[in-house]
A and B are shown apart, each in its own frame.
Chain A
């Protein structure tokens, strides 16, 4: 069966510090991978997506970046966090089959102080 993991579950970071959030998927090969951010009480904003290793598409220009070093690993990073980076970060995958549903991980809640 397919599963998706994110860690850490919760993170409190000072302004100006770096960030690295990791997402891994099991049970599928060559998935599309996605990073979303959700502010409290708001909708989901697509940040990055990847259709293959090393391929990253950015949806929103900001101080975040994404990387896909392995087929089933997706990393969200920042060199210097801003207060506005606080939020709930969700990773999602879509399998390589014709089924186009996206499935989400449990999320990482980030608080920048």
Chain B
């Protein structure tokens, strides 16, 4: 669901480790999901998407998992790098609209 008024939670990960960012969505009618990365002062950038008829999709260093039973989405980033430091948003498609989740700030520890 949408939580635009809340401060963003932070996930701190050691450089080189894998990162897992979680997201809960609210609408069982959502048929398409997207993960975005937003760096400071910039617009969100598309990372990876998944349709509701899939439960896993892999990209370069990223994997998205979808569990429709519990309305849960996760983004896994392999071998996290300093350039991965950003805010990550999940988004769900409902008709013509895409509604964003609350976002998670990923902080990379040296």
- Whether the Cβ atoms of A106 and B42 lie closer than 8 Å is yes
Q: Which of A13-21, A45-53, A63-71 contacts B (4 or more CB under 8 A)?
A: A45-53
> Main SS of the interface on chain A?
strand
Mark the stretch among B1-9, B11-19, B59-67, B72-80 that contacts chain A. Answer: B1-9
Please tell me which one of the listed residues A32, A59, A101, A107 contacts residue B43 in the complex, with CB atoms under 8 A apart. A107
By size class, the interface of chain B is 20 to 34
| Inter-subunit contact B99/A46 (CB<8 Å) | yes
Q: Which of A36, A41, A43, A102 has the most CB of B within 10 A?
A: A43
Contact between chains at B6 and A44 (CB < 8 Å): no
Q: Which of under 10, 10 to 19, 20 to 34, or 35 or more describes the interface residues of A?
A: 20 to 34
Q: How far is the CA of A61 from the CA of B96 in the complex (A)?
A: 19
Knowing A43-B102, A90-B44, A107-B43, the reply to whether A49 touches B7 (Cβ < 8 A) is no
A43-B44 in contact (CB<8A): no
Please, how many angstroms separate the alpha-carbon atoms of A106 and B44 in the complex?
8
Q: How far is the CB of A76 from chain B (nearest CB, A)?
A: 15
A106-B43, A107-B42 known; A49+B8 contact, CB < 8 A? no
Convert B82-103 into 0s and 1s, putting 1 for each residue whose CB lies closer than 8 angstroms to a CB of A. 0000000101010011111111
Contacting residues of chain B (2-52) with chain A, CB-CB under 8 angstroms? 2-8, 32, 34, 36, 41-46, 49
Q: What is A's interface to B at a CB cutoff of 8 Å?
A: 32, 34, 36, 38-39, 41-46, 49, 51, 57, 59, 90, 92, 94, 100-107, 109
